Amino acid sequence: MTTADIDVLTDLLAAFNAHDLDHIMTFFSEDCVLETPRGASEWGTRFTGPAEVREGLAQRFRGLPDVHYGEDEHWISGNRGVSRWLLTGTTPDGERVSVRGCDLFDLADDGRIRRKDSYWKIVEPSR
C-alpha cells in the first residue's frame, strides 16, 4: 500500500475527533465489525454490520461526550492497519479519562474498514 493509504486512518481519527458519525461510517465496509475494549466476552463487545457499528460508536460518544484522540500514529501493512493514540475525555459524571490505546484494523481491498478492534490500557488508582 502507498503512503496515501495511511490517510484513511488519519482521516478516520479526524472524523472521530469531530464526533461526526455520518462521516465515520463512510470509512466502514458493508460487512464491518467493531470490537470494543469492554464487554462480557474475550473480544469485549462485538457490533456487526453498519447499523450495529454505528450504535456502538454512538455509545462511545455518549460515554465520553468530549472524547478526543491525540498523540496518534498510524501504519499499514498489506490489508492490516494500526492506530495508536492517547484518548482523553470526561464522563457524564465528570470523571476525567486519559488512557493510551490502539485500534487494529482489517481493511478491504478498497481501503475501507472491515474490522476495528480497539484496546485500551487499564488505568488503576495509585497506591
Domains of the chain, first to last: 3-120 (3.10.450.50)
Q: Which residue has the higher pLDDT, 1 or 45?
A: 45
Degrees, nearest 5: CA angle 33-85-77:
60
* Residue owning grid cell 470490537: 35
State residue 56 phi and psi, 5-degree precision: -60, -40
- Give the whole-angstrom CA distance, residue 120 versus residue 37: 6
| pLDDT tens-digit map of 77-116 | 999 999 999 999 999 999 999 999 999 999 999 989 999 9
∠ CA 101-68-34, nearest 5°, is 55
Using alpha carbons only, give the angle 57, 61, 28 rounded to the nearest 5 degrees: 25
pLDDT, residue 3, reads: 53
Is 72:13 a contact under the CB 8 Å cutoff?
Answer: yes
Give the whole-angstrom CA distance, residue 124 versus residue 112: 35
Would you state the pLDDT for residue 123? 80
pLDDT at 28 over 50: yes
Q: Determine the pLDDT at residue 125.
A: 76
